[in-house]
Chains A and B, each alone.
Chain A
Amino acid sequence: MESIEFFINQRKVTVQVDPNTPLLWVLREHLHLQGTKYGCGIAQCGACTVWMNGEPIRSCVMPVSTISGAKITTIEGLSEKGNHPVQVAWDELDVPQCGYCQAGQIMTAAALLKKNPKPNAQQVTVGMSGNICRCGTYHRINKAVLRASEIMQDLAKKKKS
């Protein structure tokens, strides 16, 4: 057992756990943030994607000891009112079927757009290919990323004017 301190959605937290515990299980069972999902446990499906200091990581293979002091963002903290452009686009295009993988998809998409605000279709399909959706919502996922990019640009324009 070790005491590990980090930031979760801008809130400082301290947990007492085995330092090898993957961040995923700390989020789900110690911090009661269950939006981040368990899919495979070996970084293959992306359902557990969160951000560490703004970069997407697979929380299922990330020992909590390695995130000491880091800033973690989960689906619950992506936006204050669930209105991040990616969330808005996801709703607008009605992406989810079962919805289980979508938190991971959204965190991946939002990170992709931070790096590349105007991706082309090819960059989107490749950029999203690390996340499995068993319902096969890929068409709408790919479209929604492009739509989110548009929404972000519109917001930026509005801000300027």
Chain B
Amino acid sequence: MKTSRRNFIQKTAFLGTVFSLGFDWFSLEAKGIISNESNKPAGRWNAYIQVDSTGKITLLSPNPEIGQGIKTAFPIVVAEELDVDWKDVQILQANLETNQFDRQLTGGSGALKHSWDRLRKAGATARMMFLQAASQKWQVELSQLKTNKGQVIGPNGLKATYASLVELASNQKVPTEVVFKERKDYKLIGQFVKGVDNPGVLVGKPMYGIDYVKEGMVMAQIVRPPAFGSTLKSFDASEVLNMPGILEVKSFKNKVAIVGRSTWEIMQARTKLVCEYESPAIPESNKTHQKWFDEGKTTDKVQILRKDGDVVEAFSKAVKIIEASYECPFIPHNSMEPMNFFAHVTKDGVHLAGPTQVPQSAQKAVATLLGISEEKISVEITKIGGAFGRRLNNDFALEAAELSSLIQKPVKVLWTREDDLRGGIYRPSARYYFKAGLDASGEVIAYHLRGVGLNAGNSVRQDNFPVGAIENVLIENVEQKSAITTGPWRAPITNFLAFAEQAFLDEVAEKSGKDPVAMRLAWLEKVLKNPIGKISYEPKRFIEVIKKVAENAGWKKKPSIVQGFSVYFSHNSYVAQIAEAKMVDNKPRIQKVYAVTDCGEVINKSGAVNQITGAIVDGFGHAMFGKLDFRDGEPLQHNFNDYRLIRSNEIPEVDVSFIDNGISPTGLGEPALPPTGGAIANAICQLIGKRVYKQPFNLV
């Protein structure tokens, strides 16, 4: 439903009084009450909770929904503290309102961590005002009142629905101090709650960016250079312009945009476009990248990110040295909804709509691009058909805005699957060089990691485990520049670093005659007592997930099944996994993955299990099949015929459980992905006696 908040207030105005509580997200304070009067909308405060006199409760969800379940999880927290029946609540997607919401974006699995207290305070404050209203109405002490399912309950059978108290509640003073519910009293948090968008999704309601339609809108596709690093020399669109349904052709920034009436007509016309390109200065191929990785091993252009003790001396004393390197290719995100964006640039302002994870950045970037002030740019947040980090980059939104400004029309730019898969912003390719030095007793006394990334930024995580447990540590980063564009990909960096590190630690355990689980636990106990240097993780929580997964999977207690172990901390959550492997028709197969997660309080059991399971399927599929090859700057894969994605008959069984500790919730969209590659690689090694050092594993 595309109802703007202002419209919504106007529509409800004639229903009677609307209790509407605004919150300042920046300071965590409730700032005021807004009545039903449509000329007094939220002002500087967002109308986050609305209860009207018919009993309808409306909650706004500010962040883009990409499949991570935030549109369901946020309102659950508010509804819990407000103490209302979930079936009475309706959820609306908020548009970009930078002066009302803080951190209106999706990325880094950070939304709940950021908003947990704000959401609870919003709900609890509104609830308190209904209590105050009832107290005034009945002349009863607040301490004698309680709430249940949208009702205030008093002594001697007194009962009043929130709906009946709307007017009185609107006139209450906003309490500054509120008490949150106790965990034991939770009715909604931690339950199995279905996605609030299901009813629309299951009947095919138009909700996504690709479904966005505006009157007078034209369609467009953009032809971009086929090779990274190449530039457009010239183009001939004379035949294109003669094709049916084509309105115009515009070129900007190495691109040629074909504008037309319909997608199919544009697709046909595209085949007639003749473009001449300048070859890239360095025509990058797989071999080029191998060379850059090799050079990265010895280069002195290195960033030292961490130094504990003296690794040089420690390695010289080591009786055994273990070395290994791991490599991962570039991969596209391949969200099911290809990139697309709507833009309408007029002299009075700009309207943008579409699937971006970062609407505020889109607003800012378009403001800079077109030289228009941000206040004149509105952004509608649509539902998003998968993102995985791709939509943190607003290249597609900027293109749409630039094209609209050139053609002076509302336009929706659609990327074909090939455009999307071959158009860049990939997970960076990287190679990791590990080295561990052991003393005579088999203890690791020196640890060296050098990450070499292609446009990867910092390719390592220098404060993460096993750092903190080892006396002498050196962590280095080498960044090689490439013309291939990169960006965050679900669990940036750690989506591959975790595999490399967890596979290496498995090898260290094996070569030092230790059990991989026992070795990690012993190291973490050491950290618990005396961490060496700065660490980003809590060893206690690490230990707990490891112990629980070992227990759940029956670690090393199943003689007929081989197992591989992995554990990782990312985005503030801890996930331990054990994968089980078996030969099936003479091929190694992963049968089952056990996962134990500590993400603090689980808000929605259904959404949480969905995220963990999906991340494991994602991590597994990409470890097995994901790769993009290059020749002379051009990707060699095109579409899902030559780029393999995991399918329903290829998944392992997954067993998901959580640590029940009531700690403030942390992210869940990403953390279960990083450990998966390591768990399956380690299981496969046990099964076939050979280690895998490179993704994709290609075991088929």
- Assess whether B544 is interfacial by the CB under 8 Å rule: no
Q: Which residue of A lies closest to B619 (CB)?
A: A136
- Assess whether B639 is interfacial by the CB under 8 Å rule: yes
Contact assessment for A96 and B204 in the assembled complex, using a CB-CB cutoff below 8 Å: no
Q: How far is the CA of A132 from the CA of B337 in the complex (A)?
A: 12
Contact assessment for A90 and B202 in the assembled complex, using a CB-CB cutoff below 8 Å: yes
Q: Mark A29-55, 1 if CB is under 8 A from B, else 0.
A: 110111111111110110100000000
- Assess whether B211 is interfacial by the CB under 8 Å rule: yes
Q: In the complex, which of the residues B67, B197, B416 contacts A135, with contact meaning CB atoms closer than 8 Å?
A: B67
- Assess whether B199 is interfacial by the CB under 8 Å rule: yes
Q: Mark B464-479, 1 if CB is under 8 A from A, else 0.
A: 0000000000000000
Q: How far is the CA of A101 from the CA of B201 in the complex (A)?
A: 9
Take A33-B204, A139-B651 as given contacts and tell me if A41 and B417 are in contact as well, using a CB distance cutoff of 8 Å. yes
Q: How far is the CA of A95 from the CA of B123 in the complex (A)?
A: 28
**B644 CB to closest chain A CB, in angstroms?**
10
Q: Which residue of A lies closest to B212 (CB)?
A: A34
Contact assessment for B610 and A97 in the assembled complex, using a CB-CB cutoff below 8 Å: yes
Q: How far is the CA of A97 from the CA of B335 in the complex (A)?
A: 12
Contact assessment for B648 and A142 in the assembled complex, using a CB-CB cutoff below 8 Å: yes
Q: How far is the CA of A75 from the CA of B205 in the complex (A)?
A: 9
Q: How far is the CA of A82 from the CA of B201 in the complex (A)?
A: 10
- Assess whether A140 is interfacial by the CB under 8 Å rule: yes
Q: How far is the CA of A102 from the CA of B198 in the complex (A)?
A: 10
Contact assessment for B264 and A76 in the assembled complex, using a CB-CB cutoff below 8 Å: no
- Assess whether A146 is interfacial by the CB under 8 Å rule: no
- Assess whether B606 is interfacial by the CB under 8 Å rule: yes
Q: In the complex, which of the residues A17, A131, A134, A140 contacts B335, with contact meaning CB atoms closer than 8 Å?
A: A134
Contact assessment for A35 and B204 in the assembled complex, using a CB-CB cutoff below 8 Å: yes
Q: Which residue of B lies closest to A47 (CB)?
A: B336
Q: How far is the CA of A58 from the CA of B346 in the complex (A)?
A: 39
Contact assessment for B202 and A98 in the assembled complex, using a CB-CB cutoff below 8 Å: no
Take A47-B336, A100-B386 as given contacts and tell me if A36 and B204 are in contact as well, using a CB distance cutoff of 8 Å. yes
Contact assessment for A101 and B336 in the assembled complex, using a CB-CB cutoff below 8 Å: yes
Contact assessment for A98 and B645 in the assembled complex, using a CB-CB cutoff below 8 Å: no
Contact assessment for B614 and A97 in the assembled complex, using a CB-CB cutoff below 8 Å: yes
**A87 CB to closest chain B CB, in angstroms?**
5
Q: How far is the CA of A94 from the CA of B607 in the complex (A)?
A: 8
Take A40-B417, A41-B417, A128-B648 as given contacts and tell me if A34 and B197 are in contact as well, using a CB distance cutoff of 8 Å. no
Contact assessment for A141 and B192 in the assembled complex, using a CB-CB cutoff below 8 Å: no
- Assess whether B359 is interfacial by the CB under 8 Å rule: no
List, in ascending order, chain B residues with CB within 8 A of A35's CB. 203-206
Q: Which residue of B lies closest to A64 (CB)?
A: B264
Q: Which residue of B lies closest to A22 (CB)?
A: B264
- Assess whether A57 is interfacial by the CB under 8 Å rule: no
- Assess whether B618 is interfacial by the CB under 8 Å rule: yes
Which residues A111-161 have CB closer than 8 A to chain B?
A: 125-126, 128-142
Beyond contacts A45-B640, A98-B387: 20 other A-B pairs, Cβ-Cβ < 8 A, are A18-B268, A29-B263, A35-B206, A38-B263, A41-B416, A44-B640, A75-B202, A94-B194, A94-B195, A94-B610, A96-B198, A97-B68, A97-B611, A98-B384, A101-B385, A134-B388, A136-B615, A136-B616, A138-B646, A138-B651
| A to B CB contacts below 8 Å, 21 in the list | A1-B244, A21-B264, A22-B264, A29-B262, A36-B204, A38-B263, A42-B639, A44-B640, A76-B204, A91-B198, A96-B198, A96-B201, A99-B197, A99-B198, A99-B385, A132-B640, A132-B647, A133-B336, A136-B617, A138-B648, A140-B610
Those 4 A-B pairs whose CB atoms lie nearest each other, nearest first = A35-B204, A136-B617, A98-B67, A100-B385
